[in-house]
């Protein structure tokens, strides 16, 4: 990578950021697309947040991603927010256009594209969402936007699932939305697609699964948004029972590509980018993650 006075800077802000794969992924994309750009990660303390955002304008940082705990807070510091990001109530991608900061959200779209790539449609399908946190919010809302027939949200704390469920139900009258406890999963075995949005199974708790996948119907699709490890216990158990599975790496790649499309106005070679990154991560991600942990 040749860095000079003309190199454009992009970055990630959040706290913590030390274990993020984003710099590896984005710099890899920049390199194979011959872009004179570099991507960095900055740990940002809450007390410094406003000053950091203002400095990005002064330094002409071309764009940045936002991770926890700032996806909502960043919205108060932007000049413009794209419609879907406003609907989701969070921003994870910001573009600097001549000093004007514009916010986007690629979480839901990244998830939706990963389903499309697997030939799975969203419209008129029944979804079972495990968990009611930030990822669940983005994914459930995007599913409603895309015309899902029914969305069931299960969470250990029912009240949290209820708040999310009612929020979506109020905005999308054509989608059936309900909520319940994770303990009652057997009531919802008619779901077409089950999505794990909990942390169950994430390193270092790799022997945990959010639910027992052996109780699910054989034509159910299992999606786990976790990517550390690449194949969670939830996915392994489902594979043994011959269910179709999708891992979190797919969503991660799509989010990165979508961010770059926003920043660089580049909508070409999407498939090429995805396949190259997928190959890079398949052979390197476990080593990368182990070094970061």
Examine the domain organization and report whether 97 and 117 are in the same domain: no
Sheet of 126-130, strands arranged across: 176-181, 150-155, 126-130, 193-196, 221-224, 244-246
Please tell me the total count of domains within the chain. 2
Please report whether residue 282 resides in a domain: yes
What is the model's pLDDT at position 282?
Answer: 66
Examine the domain organization and report whether 190 and 177 are in the same domain: yes
Examine the domain organization and report whether 100 and 159 are in the same domain: no
Please report whether residue 222 resides in a domain: yes
Examine the domain organization and report whether 117 and 231 are in the same domain: yes
CATH number at residue 194: 3.40.50.720
Please report whether residue 120 resides in a domain: yes
DSSP-H helix ranges across the chain: 22-32, 49-59, 83-88, 107-117, 134-145, 158-171, 233-240, 248-264, 270-292
Examine the domain organization and report whether 60 and 137 are in the same domain: no
What is the model's pLDDT at position 292?
Answer: 47
pLDDT at residue 19 is higher than 50:
yes
CATH number at residue 274: 3.40.50.10860
Examine the domain organization and report whether 40 and 117 are in the same domain: no
275 or 167, greater pLDDT: 167
Please report whether residue 58 resides in a domain: yes
Please report whether residue 206 resides in a domain: yes
Please report whether residue 2 resides in a domain: no
Examine the domain organization and report whether 120 and 49 are in the same domain: no
Active-site residue list? 71
Examine the domain organization and report whether 95 and 182 are in the same domain: no
Pairing of strands 93-97, 100-104: antiparallel
What is the model's pLDDT at position 229?
Answer: 86
pLDDT tens for residues 191-241? 999 999 999 998 888 999 999 988 999 999 999 999 888 899 999 999 999
pLDDT tens for residues 172-203? 999 999 999 999 999 999 999 999 999 999 88
What is the model's pLDDT at position 98?
Answer: 94
**Where among 227, 246, 265 does a domain terminate?**
246
Please report whether residue 135 resides in a domain: yes
pLDDT tens for residues 94-104? 999 999 999 99
Examine the domain organization and report whether 137 and 223 are in the same domain: yes
Is the preceding peptide bond at 181 cis, omega within 30 degrees of 0? no
Residue 84 CB-density burial (10 A; 0-12 exposed, 13-18 middle, 19+ buried)? middle
Look up the domain containing 197 and give its range: 109-246
CA angle 248, 252, 256 (to 5 degrees): 170
Contacts of 104 (CB under 8 A, 6+ apart): 82, 84, 85, 91, 92, 93, 94, 95, 262
Examine the domain organization and report whether 96 and 60 are in the same domain: yes
pLDDT at residue 290 is higher than 80:
no
Examine the domain organization and report whether 135 and 241 are in the same domain: yes
Examine the domain organization and report whether 199 and 216 are in the same domain: yes
Please report whether residue 3 resides in a domain: no
């Amino acid at each position: 990578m040749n860095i000079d006075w003309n190199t454009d800077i992009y970055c990630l802000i959040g706290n913590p950021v030390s274990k993020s794969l984003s710099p590896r992924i984005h710099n890899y994309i920049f390199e194979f697309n011959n872009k004179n750009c570099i991507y960095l990660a900055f740990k940002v303390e809450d007390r410094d947040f406003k000053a950091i955002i203002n400095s990005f304008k002064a330094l002409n940082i071309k764009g940045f991603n936002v991770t926890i705990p700032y996806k909502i807070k960043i919205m108060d510091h932007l000049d413009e927010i794209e419609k879907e990001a406003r609907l989701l109530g969070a921003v994870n991608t910001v573009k600097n256009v001549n000093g004007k900061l514009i916010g986007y959200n690629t979480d839901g779209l990244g998830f939706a594209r990963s389903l499309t790539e697997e030939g799975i449609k969203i419209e008129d399908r029944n979804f079972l969402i495990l968990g009611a946190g930030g990822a669940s919010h983005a994914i459930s809302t995007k599913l409603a936007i895309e015309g899902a027939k029914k969305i069931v949200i299960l969470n250990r704390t029912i009240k949290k699932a209820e708040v999310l469920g009612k929020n979506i139900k109020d905005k999308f009258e054509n989608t059936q939305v309900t909520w319940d406890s994770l303990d009652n999963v057997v009531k919802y075995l008619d779901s077409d697609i089950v999505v794990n949005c909990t942390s169950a199974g994430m390193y270092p708790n790799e022997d945990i699964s959010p639910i027992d996948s052996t109780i699910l119907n054989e034509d159910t699709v299992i999606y786990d948004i976790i990517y550390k490890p690449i194949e969670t216990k939830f996915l392994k158990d489902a594979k043994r029972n011959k269910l179709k599975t999708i891992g979190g790496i797919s969503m991660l790649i799509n989010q990165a590509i979508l961010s770059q499309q926003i920043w660089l106005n580049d909508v070409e070679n999407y498939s090429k980018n995805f396949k190259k990154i997928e190959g890079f991560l398949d052979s390197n991600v476990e080593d990368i993650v182990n070094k970061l942990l």
